[in-house]
Amino acid sequence: MNGNPVARAVTPATRLFAILCGWWLLGYSLLVCVDIVARRFFAFSLQGTDEIGGYTLAVVSAFGFAHALATRRHTRIDLFINALPPRLRALANATAAITIAILASFAASRGFAEASDSWMFNAVSTSPLQTPIWLPQGLWVAGFSLFAIVAVVFALHAVWLAIVAPARANAWYGPPTVAEEIAAEGGPMIEGKR
C-alpha cells in the first residue's frame, strides 16, 4: 500500500472478499475430491462440479481483480515509464488508472445487463443442475462492481495527485519497485532474518 490512504481505506473490504473467495475455492476443491472418489470407487458422479467450477472461476476472478488493484498486484509494463520525467510519469500513471476504471466500469455495467436479462427471462443452465443463471451472474457482477468502485476511486485520486503531488502519484499509482515486489513476496525482514 506504500502509505496510500485510499488503498488503506479500500483494502480491508477487498481483502475480506479475497478471503471469502479463498474459502469458496477450498470448498470447491473438497467437492471435486469427493466427486473424483465417488466416480472412481462408487461409479457415481455428483453432476455439475464442472459447471460450479466455471462459476467459481468467474466470481473469484472478478473479486480478485479488486484486491489485486488495491494491493498493486496488477501487471504493469514499466520498461519506459521510469525514464520519463516525474510529471509525465504521473500523467502516465493517472492515465493507466483511468483506463482500468473505464474497463472495470464497462465490465460491471455489461455484467449487470446480462444478469438483468437472465433474471427477467428466468434463464437456467442447460446442465443437470438447472442453475438459475442470475445467481452466478449476480455474484460475478458484485465482484466487477467492487472492482469498478475501487478503480474509479483510485483513478480520481491518481488524477488529483498527478496535478498536485506527482511524486506521490508515482509512488502510489506507478508500478511497484523491485524492492516493493520483493517485500510483498517475501514479507518483512527483521534484522536480516525471516
State the Cα–Cα distance between residues 138 and 118, nearest whole angstrom.
10
pLDDT for the residue 188: 57
Query: Is the Cβ–Cβ distance between 118 and 140 less than 8 Å?
Result: no
pLDDT for the residue 73: 87
In Å, how far are 16, 62, 71, 145, 171 from 186, measured between CA atoms? 22, 26, 15, 31, 20
Collapsing DSSP states into helix, strand and coil, what is residue 176?
Answer: coil
Which secondary-structure segment (H or E) carries 5?
helix 5-42
Collapsing DSSP states into helix, strand and coil, what is residue 76?
Answer: coil
pLDDT for the residue 191: 47
pLDDT for the residue 10: 96
Question: What is the pTM (predicted TM-score) of this model?
Answer: 0.87
Q: What's the average pLDDT block by block, 10 residues per block, for the chain (194 residues)? A: 86 96 96 94 88 94 96 83 89 95 97 95 90 95 97 97 94 83 68 50
